[in-house]
Structure 1
Amino acid sequence: MANGSAEAVIGERDYRIPQRIERLPMTSVQRWISLVIVIAVFFDAVDMGAMSYLLPSLRDYFGLTAATAGLLSSMSMAGMLVGSFLAGRLADKMGRKALLQYSMIIWGLGGILCALSWSVASLIVFRFLIGLGLGAEYPVANAMISEFLPTKVRGRWLTVMEGLAPIGVIFAGLLAWIFVPIIGWRWVFVFEAVPAIWIFFVRRNLPESPRWLESVGREEEAHAIAAELEHKVQKVTGSELPPIPEVTYVSQKGIRAKFGDLWVGRYVKRTVGMAIVWPLALLGYWGIQSWITALLASSGYTIQKSMAYALLIQLGGIPGFLVTTYLIDKVGRKATLIIGLLGSAVMAYLYGNAPNLTLLIVFGLLLQYFFWTLWPALYAFTPEVYPTRLRATGTGFVMSMGRLGAILGPYVAGLILGKDYVQGPVFIMALVAFVIAALAVLLLVPETKGKVLEEVAA
C-alpha cells in the first residue's frame, strides 16, 4: 500500500468491511459524508419545530379547539410512525441511500402542500405527509452514520446529528417570529420545504453503506466503496493507513432481515426496552413541546411575545447537546440517556409549576437542556444495539413505536387542557413518562460505549 493507489487498497479484500472502516483515521473524507447526512436531518428538525410556533396562529386562523389543535400537532407524528416503520424495513432490503432520497422528496412536497392547504382537514393530511417523509429519514440517517464511522467517533457524530435539532427548532422559531406577522404562516411552510433540494448533494456525494452492501452479499460493491474511502483517506493524511484491527465479527452474509428476528435471543430485551423508552420519551416531550407557545399565549401574552419567550427557552437545548457530545463517549450512552430522562422529569414538574415569568424561563431553559441531553443520547444509542442486517429494521420499529407517544402527547395534552387550559396535569403526565422510560433503559438495554458495532451484535 505504499503507492497509495486504490488498486493496492483493494488487495486487502481478505478483510471484512468493518475491519477496513475501523482502521481509518477520522478525516475530512468521513466528515463530509457525515455532514451531508447531518444537514439533511437538520432540515427535518426545522420542519418539525415549526408547529410549536405556528400553532397559535393556526388556532386563530381556523378557529381550532384545544383538542383539534392537539390533533393537528399529532398528525405529523402519525406520519412519522408509518414512515419510520416502513423505511426501516425497506432500507434493510433496498439500501440506505435510495430511501434517504425518497424521504426528502416526500417531506419537501408535504411542506409545499401545507402552504397551499385550504381547510383544517387538508392541513391535517399534508402534515401527515410531511411526517411520512421525516419518519422515513431518521432511522436511515442513523443507520448510515453508524455504518460509515469508526467506533471512536461514531457516538459523537450521532450526537451531533441529533444535537443540531434544537438549533433547527430555534431556526424555525426565528422564521415564524419574523415572517408570520408580515406575510403569514403559509410562507413559513414554503421556506421550510425549500431545503429538500439538498437531495442533489445527497445523490452526488453520498455512497451506499458498504456495511449494508456486504450484509446482503454485494461484496464487490462493498469492497470497491471501502477501497475508495481508504484511498481518499490516505491521500488526505499523506501517510500509510494504520494496521487493520481484529474485530469480533458475526457473519451476516446470506441471512435475510426478518422482523421476527427482533424478538429472538439477545435482541428481545433490547427491543422491548427501546419500545418502552421511545413512546414514553416522545409522549412527555411532545406533550410539552408542541404546546409551549400556545400555553404562553393562553397565559395572557401576545402571540408575538409568546413566540419570543418560546424561542428564548429553546436556547437551553444548545448547551445540552454540546455537553452530551462529551458525555456520551466518556460516561456512556446509557448513563447519559438516564440523566437526560430524569432531568427532564424534574424540570417538567418545576416548569409546569413556575410561579412567575422569570422562573418559567429559567426552568424552561433547563428543561430544554435536559431534553437535548436525552435526544442525542437516544438517537446515538438506538442503532448501535442491532446488527447491520437488522439495524434499520430495529431502529425503524422502535422509532415507529415512539411515534405512538408523539401522536398521543399533543392530543392528550389538548384533552387535558380543555377549554380552561388547566396546565398542571400535562406536566405530571410528562414526569411519569420520563421516569418509567429511565427505568426501562436501566433494566433492559445494554451499554454500547467503545464497542465496534459487530461486537455489540456478538
Structure 2
Amino acid sequence: MTPPDPVGTPTSRTERLDSLPVTRRHVRLLGGSGVGWALDAMDVGLIGFIMAALTTHWGLSHTETSWLASAGFVGMALGATFGGLLADRIGRRSVFAVTLLVYGLATGASALAGGLAVLIVLRFVVGLGLGAELPVASTLVSEFAPRSVRGRMVVILEAFWALGWLAAAVIGAFVIPLSDDGWRWALALGMVPAVYALYVRMRLPESVRYLESKGRHDEAERIVVDFEESSPARFRFGTAATGRAGDGPDAPAAQPAQAAQAAQAASGIWSPALRRRTAALWTIWFCINLSYYGAFTWIPSILVDQGYTLVKSFTFTLVITLAQLPGYAVSAFLIERWGRRSTLATFLAGSAVSAGLYGFAGVEWQIIAAGCLLSFFNLGAWGALYAVGPELYPTTMRGRGTGAATGFGRIASIIAPLIVPPLLVVGGMPVLFALFGAAFAVAALAALSLPELRGTSLAER
C-alpha cells in the first residue's frame, strides 16, 4: 500500500521515486553500476592495443586481427539482445551478476591463450557478458533516478566508460610495450577488478518497476522506503524533481494522455505506437557503433602503420582518450538544459565534422587535435544515447527495447573492424573517415525524429 499525497490522492512508488532528491542510495547505485561499466570499457578498449601488439609480436595480418575484434562484437550483439530479454524476465540485478562472472572468467582465460583461434573464441565469450550488461545497467539507473536528473545520471554512468577506456590506454601505453607478453598481463589486469564489481553489484537493489510488474509489491515497497530514508547526497546533480511530470517552468508539456496510454498498451517495440522511435533508435545505434568501433579500435594500429612506434602510437591514443571526459561532462550538463534530442543530435553532428577532419590529418598536432575532437563529440553522443534509450519504452519492455537496439547496433560493430583494412587499401584515411562521418550525420538526422521526453516520468511512456 503506497501512502497518499497531502491532498489525498494515492501516490505510486514511481512517483515517490521521481520526487526524491538525489540520496546516498542513488550515489551508491550509480557508483556500483559505474564500476562495472568502467571495467567493461577497459576490456573493450584493450583490444585495440592488443591488436597492434599482436601484429608486431605474432606477425598477424590486419585481416586476422580484425576477426579478433569482430568476434568480441558478435558476442556483444547476442549478449545485448538476450540480456535485455532476460532482464525483463528474471530481473536487472540477476543479469548483472551473471554477465560480470562470464566476462571476468573469459578475460582471465584469454590471457593464457596460445593461439589466435583460441583467443577469438574467448573474445566471443567475453563479448556475451559485456553486451548483456551495458543496456541493463543504464535501464536500472534510469528506473531509480529522480525524474529531473534522470538523463544527467545516465550520462554520468556512461562517463565511467571514459574512465575505463582511459585505464585501457594507460595499460596500453605502460604495460603492453614492456615485453612480448605484455598483452597477456593487460588481459590479466582486466580480470582482477571483476571480482570486486561482482560483490558491489550483488548489493544493488532490484528495479522497483520490475518487481511491481511481477507482483512482488512488498519487496518493492521496502526498496522505495530505503531510498526515502536515505540521507541526501553531499553534492548535487541538479534540481530535485517535485510534483508530477511536466511541472515546473522548464519542463516540457506532458505527453497527451491518449499517446501515453497507447505506448503503455503497446504489444511490442515494433507496434504502431512505438515503431517510429524504435526505427530511429536502431538507426542511431547502428551508425554510432560503425563509426566509433571502426575508428577507435583501429587508431593504434593505423598509427603504427603510419610509422609511429608502439609506444608513441599508444601515447597518442592515451591523449586522445582524455578528451572523452569533458565530452561526457558537457553532455551531462546540456541534456537537462537542451533536452535529449537536441543534445544527442548536436554531438552526433560534431562527431561527423570531427571524423572528416581526422581523415585529412597528416602531422602529429593535427592527428591529436582532430582525434581529441572526435573523442569529445563521439563520447558525449554515447552518453546522451544511453540516457534516451530507456525512456522510450514502458516498463514491461524497457529491457527488451534497449537491449534489442543495442544488439542491432552491435551488428555494425562486428562489420566495422572488418571493413577498415580494405577501405584503407582502396582510399586511405580520407575515404575511411568520410564513411564514418557520413554514418554520424545519418545518426544525427535520426536523432531529430525521436520524441523529446525530458522531464516526463518513466511511467508516462
Q: If the length of structure 1 is used for normalisation, what is the TM-score?
A: 0.90
- 1:19-418 alignment runs, 5 A limit: 19-183=15-179, 184-197=182-195, 198-203=197-202, 205-233=203-231, 245-246=243-244, 261-418=268-425
Q: CA deviation at 1:246?
A: 4.1
Give me the CA root mean square deviation: 2.6
Which residue matches 1:4? none
Does structure 2 retain, via aligned residues, the 8 Å contact 1:80–1:400? Answer: yes
Does structure 1 retain, via aligned residues, the 8 Å contact 2:110–2:187? Answer: yes
Distance 1:12-1:61 versus aligned 2 partners, 3 A rule: farther
Q: CA deviation at 1:10?
A: 6.4
Counterpart secondary structure, 2:153: helix
Paired with 1:354 and 1:439, the residues of 2 have a C-alpha distance of 26
Paired with 1:287 and 1:235, the residues of 2 have a C-alpha distance of 39
Paired with 1:308 and 1:123, the residues of 2 have a C-alpha distance of 25
Q: CA deviation at 1:234?
A: 8.2
Paired with 1:67 and 1:49, the residues of 2 have a C-alpha distance of 19
Does structure 2 retain, via aligned residues, the 8 Å contact 1:101–1:199? Answer: yes
Give per-residue Cα distances to partners, 1:64-100, cap 9 Å, x unaligned: 2222211211111111100000010010011010001
Give per-residue Cα distances to partners, 1:132-161, cap 9 Å, x unaligned: 111010111011001111111211110011
Paired with 1:421 and 1:44, the residues of 2 have a C-alpha distance of 33
Paired with 1:224 and 1:63, the residues of 2 have a C-alpha distance of 58
Give per-residue Cα distances to partners, 1:357-387, cap 9 Å, x unaligned: 1111111111111111111011111111111
Counterpart secondary structure, 2:307: coil
Give per-residue Cα distances to partners, 1:261-312, cap 9 Å, x unaligned: 1111321111111111101111011111111111110000111111011111
- 1:439 equivalenced with 2:442 (yes/no): no
Count of aligned residue pairs for this structure pair:
437
Paired with 1:297 and 1:399, the residues of 2 have a C-alpha distance of 31
Task: Pick which of 109-118 and 225-234 moved more.
Answer: 225-234
Does structure 2 retain, via aligned residues, the 8 Å contact 1:142–1:379? Answer: yes
Gapped regions of structure 2 (runs ≥ 5): 246-253, 258-263
Distance 1:243-1:280 versus aligned 2 partners, 3 A rule: closer
Does structure 2 retain, via aligned residues, the 8 Å contact 1:62–1:119? Answer: no
Distance 1:294-1:235 versus aligned 2 partners, 3 A rule: closer
Does structure 1 retain, via aligned residues, the 8 Å contact 2:158–2:386? Answer: yes
- AA aligned to 2:55 is R
- AA aligned to 2:228 is E
Give per-residue Cα distances to partners, 1:95-117, cap 9 Å, x unaligned: 01000110100110111111011
Distance 1:406-1:163 versus aligned 2 partners, 3 A rule: same
Counterpart secondary structure, 1:262: coil
Counterpart secondary structure, 1:266: coil
> Which of 454, 457, 461 lines up with 1:449 in the alignment?
454
Paired with 2:390 and 2:440, the residues of 1 have a C-alpha distance of 21
Counterpart secondary structure, 1:330: coil
Task: Pick which of 342-351 and 177-186 moved more.
Answer: 177-186
Does structure 2 retain, via aligned residues, the 8 Å contact 1:20–1:244? Answer: no
Does structure 1 retain, via aligned residues, the 8 Å contact 2:320–2:368? Answer: yes
Counterpart secondary structure, 2:269: helix
Counterpart secondary structure, 1:177: helix
Gapped regions of structure 1 (runs ≥ 5): 1-8, 251-256
Does structure 2 retain, via aligned residues, the 8 Å contact 1:10–1:224? Answer: no
Paired with 1:93 and 1:214, the residues of 2 have a C-alpha distance of 12
Does structure 1 retain, via aligned residues, the 8 Å contact 2:335–2:343? Answer: yes
- AA aligned to 1:303 is L
> Which of 429, 434, 453 lines up with 2:435 in the alignment?
429
Paired with 1:182 and 1:220, the residues of 2 have a C-alpha distance of 55
Paired with 2:127 and 2:390, the residues of 1 have a C-alpha distance of 20
- AA aligned to 2:447 is V
Paired with 2:282 and 2:104, the residues of 1 have a C-alpha distance of 29
Q: CA deviation at 1:62?
A: 2.9
Does structure 1 retain, via aligned residues, the 8 Å contact 2:327–2:376? Answer: yes
- AA aligned to 2:381 is L
- AA aligned to 1:434 is F
Paired with 1:179 and 1:258, the residues of 2 have a C-alpha distance of 53
Paired with 2:3 and 2:191, the residues of 1 have a C-alpha distance of 45
Q: CA deviation at 1:63?
A: 2.2
Q: CA deviation at 1:436?
A: 1.0
Paired with 2:279 and 2:177, the residues of 1 have a C-alpha distance of 46
